[in-house]
Structures are given as C-alpha cells and as structure tokens.
Structure 1
C-alpha cells in the first residue's frame, strides 16, 4: 500500500484540516499517511522545492518553482477576500507608507507570499531581515527591523499585546491588492500534492482531505486542544484556546472560497508577479 508523506505546517489555520487525519478521526482508504509537523512555512517551501514531501502547505509564491512536480488542491487554497487576514504592515512607530522604502523589513522567508506581495505592491526597503518563526518576528520588531508583514495577525497582535508591544498598522497587502486586482481573492498558501503519486491517487487524497477539513470545521472543540498542543511543541508558543479558535475561524473563510474565485485569484497573482519579473511564468495552473 502506498504511503503518502505529509508535511503539515505548525500554524493553527493551516493545520486544522489535517488534525482529524492525525488523530484518526478520519481514516484514509487505500493508502497510508505519514505525518511530519514542520515548524515554519519557509521550511516547507524548501522541502517541496527538494520534493521531500508528497503533500504540504507551501506559499502560493512557491508554485512557479514547483509547478512541474505538484498539483494544487482546488479545495485547499487559502485566499483572502476581505481585510480580516489582509497581511498588515506593522511598525512600533508612526510611519507613513512612503517611509517603508527606507525601513528594515521583517518577513518569515524569502519565498513567502508575504514577501512576494510586498515586492509587488510596495517594492522597496533598505534591508531585509528573515525571521522564520512567525511568533519570533514580533520580538525583532523595533530591534532588528522597523516594519513587519504580519501574516497571522490575530495571533501576532495578541502576542504583542501580552509582551507590551504596541504595533501600529501602516498599510495592508489586502488594501493595496484589491485596488490592482479588480477585487480578486488574494492567494496566500495552498496544499499541493506530488504528481509522482499519479492523478487518481492525488484526487483520492484530496477527497480524504476534504472529509477531514469538514470534520474539523464541525468539531472545533475536539480539534483546538490538539492544535494548541502541536503549536506548543513545534513553535514553543503557549497560545490560549480562544486565540486559536479565532485564527481557525478566519482561515475557515479563506479555505472555503469557491473554486472559480480561487482560480481567478491565482491567475491574477501569477500574471502580475510575472509582469514585474518577481516570479517565473506559470505555464498552467494545475488544480485538482
């Protein structure tokens, strides 16, 4: 029987669909699953680039580099359609948008969608600071860097408040994105499946993932304690369950955008980033 190696991202919003599979609440039929929890999205981006996992959750910005080797699961593209998860640019001082070009920019990886959107929508910065662990980024704000692209802002704003850090929003990727994209959904992350598994098995995994995702959405009280445990072990972060619940709620909206809108967002994102020579050309968006 085929074993599918899954690299699950240790982030509440991206993790919740996998937890029923990890916990055995939903069982695969005709294949086995082997799970590894990956602490950061940049780690995942590097793993899929080396094709060391069959299924994982890379940044949408990674797809041009892996398009020959992975399918995108159409029911698992995190797409922002409003400002709830709009990737605000945060600072500890009152800066203006025009000040960003002279600022030290903190992002959690060079291949992330957050950094790609910054390059597309803002462009310039004085120095790039890479802090891989999302919840470590805030500690660098004001010390190693002047501004931060906050991907998981619900958790980040909560953690900053606990640390006594007063973050000031300067702008957001969503506010700028919607103006140049004709209100297309803004792609962020995606679940991809290795083409080496074959399309039939990839579709079978997609159907199993969908069952797990729907189970999680209907049984959040079961899922959240496990989510908190995984985050604590992988990230060293002790988050309150209510914060995890709010994070998952926001991501449920992102992971349930209709397929035709998902495709429109991806097409817009890859067209704009290719036109500005930020990402390579995508030959075909292979959604399953």
Structure 2
C-alpha cells in the first residue's frame, strides 16, 4: 500500500484540518499516511523544494519554484477576503513611509508570502531579519527589528498583551493589496500534493483531506486540545486554548473560500509578482 508523507505545519489554522487524520478520527482508504510536524513555514518551504514530503502547507509564494512537482488542492488554499487575517504591519512606534522603507524588517523567511507581499506593496527595507518560529518575532521587535509583518495576528496580539508590549499597527498588507487588486482575494498559504503520487491518488487524498477538515470544523472541542499540545511542543510556547480557538475560527473562513475566488486570487498574485520581477513565471496553476 502506498504511503503518503505529510509535513504538517505547526500553526493552529493550518494544522486543524490534519488533526482528525493524525488522531484516527478520519481514516484514509487505500493508502497510508505518515505524519511529521514541521515547526516553521520556512522549514516547510524548504522541505517541499527538496521534495522531502508528499503533502505539506507551503507559502503561496513558493509555488513558482515547485509548480512542476506539486498540485495545489483547491479546497485548501488559505485566502484572505477581509482584514481579519490580512497581515498587519506592526512597529513599536508610529513610522512614516520613508522610515518603514529604512527599517529592520522581521519576517519568517525569504520565501514566505508575507515577505513577497511586502516586496510587492512596500518594496524597500533597511535590513532583513529572519525569525522562523511563530511568536519569537515578538522578542525581536524593538531589539533586532523595527517592523514586523504579523502573519498570525490573533496569537500575536495576545502574546504582546501578555508580555506587556505596546505596538502600533502602522498598516496592513490586505489594505494595500485590496487597493491594487480591486478587492481580489489575497492568497497566503496552500496545501500541495506531489505529482509523483499520480493524479488519481492525489484526488483521493483531496477527498480524505476534505472529510478531515469538515470533521475538525464540526468537532472543535475534540480537536483544539490536540492542536494546543502540538503547538506548545513545536513552538516552545505556552499558548492559551481560547486564542487557538479564535485563530482556528479565523482560518476556517480562509480555508472555505469558493474555488473560483481562489483561482482569481492566485492568478492576480502570480501575474503581478511576475510583472514586478519578484517571482518567476507560473506556466499553469495546477489546481486539483
């Protein structure tokens, strides 16, 4: 029987659809799943680039580099359609646009969608600071870096309040994106599956993933404690269960955007980043 290697990202919103499969609440038929929890999105990006996993959750900005090797699951593209998860830009003081462009910028990695959007929508920065692990960037804000693109806003603001750190919301990727895109949905992350498993098996996995996602959304009280446990172990942080719940609720909206809107967002994202010379050309968006 074929075994599909799954690299699950240790982030509440991206992790919840996989937990019923990890816990045996939903069982695959005709194939096995082997899970590895990967702590950071940049680690995920590197794993898919090296083809170390068959299924994972890379940044949308990685797709031009892996388009020949992976399908995108159309039911698993995290897409912002409002400002709730629109990647705010945080600083410890008010900053002008010129100051932002001279700042020390904190992001999770060079291949992330957050950094790609910053390059597209703002462009310049003084120095790039890479902080891979979720919530560790808070400790760097004001010390190693001046500006932070907050991918996980709910967890971020909670952790900042808990640590007594005051920040200023100086902008939002979503606010800038919707202006240049005429309110086009903003793609952020995606679940991909290796083309090496074959299209038939990839489609069967997609169906199984959908069952697992829907099970999780209907049984959050079962899923959240396991999510919290995995997050605490992977992120080395004491996360509050209620914050994880709120994060998942926000991400449920992202992971249930209609497929025609998902495609529209992906097409605009890849078109404009190619035109600006930020990402390589995408020959075809292979949505399953």
Q: TM-score, normalised by structure 2?
A: 0.99
Whole-Å Cα distance in 1 between the matches of residues 134 and 107 of structure 2? 9
Alpha-carbon displacement from aligned partner over 1:232-277 (angstroms, at most 9, x marks no partner):
1111111111100000000000000000000000000000000000
For the residues of structure 2 that align with 1:23 and 1:133, how far apart are their CA atoms? 25
Counterpart of 1:88 in structure 2 is 88
1:40 is matched with 40
> Which residue of 1 is the match for residue 217 of structure 2?
217
Say which is worse superposed, 231-240 or 247-256, in terms of deviation: 231-240
- The residue aligned with 2:146 is 146
CA distance in 2, matches of 1:164, 1:89: 19
- Partners of 1:139 and 1:179 in 2: CA distance: 32
Aligned partner of 1:201 in structure 2 is 201
Structure 1 unmatched runs, 5+: none
Aligned-partner Cα distance in 1 for 2:139–2:237: 13
Kept after mapping to 2: 8 A contact 1:97/1:171: no
Q: What is the rounded CA distance, in whole Å, between the counterparts of 2:79 and 2:98 in structure 1?
A: 27
Q: Which residue of 2 aligns with 1:131?
A: 131
Rounded to whole Å, the distance in 1 between the matches of 2:244 and 2:97 is 31
Aligned to 1:17: 17
Decide whether the 8 Å contact of 1:97 with 1:170 is kept in 2: no
Contact 1:91 1:169 in 2 (8 A): yes
Shift of 1:29: 0.2
CA drift at 1:182: 1.4
2:252 alignment partner in structure 1: 252
Matched, 1:179 2:179: yes
The answer (yes or no) to whether the contact 1:64–1:280 under 8 Å persists in 2 is: yes
Cα deviation code 1:129-180 (max 9, x no counterpart): 0000021001000000000000001001100111111111000000000001
What RMSD, in angstroms, separates the aligned Cα atoms of the two structures? 0.5
Mapping 1:20-169, distance limit 5 Å: 20-169=20-169
Q: CA deviation at 1:97?
A: 2.9
CA distance in 2, matches of 1:14, 1:184: 22
Which residue pairs with 1:272 in the alignment?
Answer: 272
Task: Give how far 1:96 is off.
Answer: 2.3
SS at 1:100's partner residue?
Answer: helix
Give the Å deviation of 1:95.
1.2
Long gaps (5+) in structure 2: none
Q: For 1:95 and 1:153, locate their aligned partners in 2 and report how far apart those are by CA, in whole Å.
A: 19
User: How far has the Cα of 1:98 moved from its partner?
Assistant: 3.1
Counterpart of 2:135 in 1: which secondary structure? helix
Deviation string 1:29-85 (CA, Å, 9 cap, x unpaired) is 000000000000000000000000000000000000000000000000000000000
Q: Deviations over 1:173-216 (max 9, x none)?
A: 00000001111110000000000000000000000000000000
SS in 2 for 1:189: strand
Aligned residues: 288
SS in 2 for 1:134: coil
Distance of 1:76 and 1:98 partners within structure 2: 37
Per-residue Cα deviation, 1:85-116 (whole angstroms, up to 9, x for no partner)? 01000001111233211100000000000000
Q: Return the alpha-carbon distance in structure 1 between the equivalents of residues 99 and 79 of structure 2.
A: 28
